[in-house]
Structure 1
């Protein structure tokens, strides 16, 4: 009875929060109009036009060369600055109040939608005995020397692990090293290095059904982030050797090459092939993008994901579980690593108008977001460039991307920061339905968490 009463009270609070969100959003639009009259209407139209022109200017900056590129770059910076200055000078207090109201609308809307609809399903933890013969591969160059800076080798050896340091001057086959370790009796494989190295060893761990340990010693550590590990303290990941739990997560493959994060095809994949990219990322990208985006160079791709077909995209990203794309604060994060589905993000932009639509249109034609169990990348040539977890590869076409559900046993520390719960997506249609409920409508049983 106490739980039912609490559920009803929570549902009532969320219903009123939905009403507050809708009211605040409406006022956020009306305040500038009331403050500036017809001038406010014209300013809102100017703001929308400015956003579109800025997006078009960014497209010109990426696809043109010479003086035209520099003029477009100036335009891409000057237009937003001019719009902000115009709003500030004309609607200063009204603009501040509108921004504050919008913040209230967003906060209230997220509160109203929490616990409703689909909920995040966390990866189930399993308690297992500590490994007896762990084997760790460490790259001393990863992350600017984190292996040395955090004393990872010494700490791991104190905990009973056998550690192999890669030789920066001598390329080594980490997959072969991992297989040799399993043949020698290793009952856990781990990596302190980048995501590309992690993927190669993870595939061996999945093949032999031994646990895999991630040590966040790379530069970005995307996989470690989505596992909920402490990226600021790589040594904390070694606690899993003595006090850990196991998670079953998925593993992606692109043409037989494993990936824990993603495989990219198209413009970005072609750029990372350049020998100059590592030393000058921005300069190399600006030099190659005009020909790649206008299709004067590079392959013509076709991506098939289930029933969907992406024709001639400039870029396709296939990820091991889908990334969040509905929240700028959660962009690039994955809510789950065990959904058994690949995420697919395809981009096709052929003009400045379509570039503006990417920013202004809630559902632009040039952006494709979907999920699939298998994705096939076809091209007009026998081989295409690919970026697999940041590693530059050339793969024969067609490239078959697939996901192996729950293939990987990942051992993580029992005590770790964890994954930040995803913020509810602001679905205004659901907010309107929630706000419209009246009377003593009861909350669905078990929808909300208990207060203890």
Structure 2
């Protein structure tokens, strides 16, 4: 049986907006206003020199795209022109003689905005359903020593786990990971963990869900996106073993494509074609650069990917479609992560070839479900692993479906939640907090927890 909840257990997450949060929100909004005002002053003071400096920036973006999507001489010429344009930008900035005092003041105001935004908003991402649980009676840890260049083996994870009473199963070269997890449950495991990459984590997490057992994530892969967005310490694998002792438990969402579970995302289109290449695992950058011209260059054939976007518009093709378990923030400070793992929505991003000047090439929306069709099998990257999926693909989110144990000292705040991007959504959230309201961009998880 699973360890019972500690008799004194209570939700650890926040339940209301506090005075210090409201004050931080007010200071963040004030800093943003100062930054905006200084920017307008700087533009008006340096006009028209500002426009002269802006033109090379536009050309740099265009030349960078040509460098990526062309081959041979065209790529070489575009690359040389790109370097020349960067040099021209430096010269233009020097010629414009921007008032460095204004630039410095803008930088300080932006930094202050980000600091106060973090203080005002990150607390609201502490899971409100997180509670204390007792030590697992029959914990089992499965280790993939090949993940992350042997990360688990390098830190002696197996020996440490055995030392504190955890049963360890090591995945062999031809081992069936799902079967190992099922055998562990049949042998009486009341808590099961996985030390490996995100693809391995998803396999064991699904077994844990099937038996309603708590799952422990030990980030022993290469990127460890799932662990990062849970707020776990990715640099200390051994500390993750604390989750098998007296720990904190919460629930998180998982995504599904047809009946396959994913913890992070599924990418189809150009990315799916790239990860399908046999050379990708050993040479990711080289393979990507060699395949991109064939997939998104001027001579590329349109990919048969049929879907309906968030505005109910129909599309017959896309360059890339990225469907994630909760929404990724691609802002410059967000580290490309998710601020929440329990919002109950898929994040969907589609890069399409615009059929008119009014059609944006990048589409973004959120939904509980998403359907994708094609006349042929669809190459995909599922949590970074290649998969050939049979259409139609039916994506859905399973809210709060996975029981997750983390060390007691882990608050469960993603690094992305600590670095909110300065967007309209963030400004709206700051306004909510300043007025004493819960930020509207993500729902407050209420107790009892949302149904599965």
- The TM-score with structure 2 as length reference comes to 0.82
Equivalent runs, 1:188-199 vs 2, <5 Å: 188-199=191-202
* Residues 352-379 of structure 1 deviation map (CA, whole Å, 9 limit, x = unaligned): x98xxxxxxxx98111111111111112
Contact 1:267 1:298 in 2 (8 A): no
Pair 446,66 (structure 1): closer, same or farther in 2 beyond 3 Å: closer
| Structure showing greater Rg | 1
1:397 is paired with a residue whose SS is: coil
Distance 1:62 1:145 in 2: 33
* Residues 93-117 of structure 1 deviation map (CA, whole Å, 9 limit, x = unaligned): x1x3232122133245446767879
Pair 55,206 (structure 1): closer, same or farther in 2 beyond 3 Å: same
The alpha-carbon deviation at position 122 of structure 1 amounts to 2.5
* Residues 15-49 of structure 1 deviation map (CA, whole Å, 9 limit, x = unaligned): 57645543443333434653xxxxx3243213332
Distance 1:412 1:147 in 2: 18
**Partner residue of 1:371 out of 366, 369, 372:** 366
Distance 1:431 1:189 in 2: 41
Distance 2:25 2:263 in 1: 38
Pair 180,298 (structure 1): closer, same or farther in 2 beyond 3 Å: farther
Contact 1:58 1:73 in 2 (8 A): yes
RMSD: 3.2
Instruction: Report whether the alignment pairs 1:426 with 2:416.
Output: no
Instruction: Report whether the alignment pairs 1:61 with 2:67.
Output: yes
Distance 2:141 2:373 in 1: 37
Residue aligning to 1:183: 186
Distance 1:406 1:447 in 2: 20
2:397 is paired with a residue whose SS is: strand
Equivalent runs, 1:43-442 vs 2, <5 Å: 43-91=49-97, 94=99, 96-110=100-114, 120-123=124-127, 124-167=129-172, 170-294=173-297, 296-297=300-301, 299-304=303-308, 308-309=312-313, 311=315, 312-325=317-330, 327-349=331-353, 365-379=360-374, 381-416=375-410, 418-419=412-413, 420=415, 421-426=417-422
* Residues 86-143 of structure 1 deviation map (CA, whole Å, 9 limit, x = unaligned): 2135416x1x323212213324544676787998343221222221222211111211
Distance 1:157 1:429 in 2: 47
Q: Which sits farther off after the overlay, 79-88 or 299-308?
A: 299-308
1:56 is paired with a residue whose SS is: helix
Q: Which sits farther off after the overlay, 40-49 or 117-126?
A: 117-126
Pair 68,418 (structure 1): closer, same or farther in 2 beyond 3 Å: same
Q: Runs of 5+ in structure 2 lacking a partner?
A: 1-17, 440-452
* Residues 153-178 of structure 1 deviation map (CA, whole Å, 9 limit, x = unaligned): 011111222212122xx322211211
Pair 203,79 (structure 1): closer, same or farther in 2 beyond 3 Å: same
Distance 1:234 1:240 in 2: 11
Pair 364,330 (structure 1): closer, same or farther in 2 beyond 3 Å: farther
Pair 397,298 (structure 1): closer, same or farther in 2 beyond 3 Å: farther
Instruction: Report whether the alignment pairs 1:25 with 2:36.
Output: yes
Q: Runs of 5+ in structure 1 lacking a partner?
A: 1-5, 35-39, 355-362, 436-442
Distance 1:16 1:140 in 2: 48
The alpha-carbon deviation at position 252 of structure 1 amounts to 0.9
Pair 240,285 (structure 1): closer, same or farther in 2 beyond 3 Å: same
Contact 1:306 1:374 in 2 (8 A): no
1:155 is paired with a residue whose SS is: helix
* Residues 272-296 of structure 1 deviation map (CA, whole Å, 9 limit, x = unaligned): 1101112222221122111211473
Distance 2:163 2:252 in 1: 28
Residue aligning to 1:37: none
Distance 1:429 1:224 in 2: 25
1:392 is paired with a residue whose SS is: strand
Pair 298,232 (structure 1): closer, same or farther in 2 beyond 3 Å: farther
How many residues align? The count is: 415
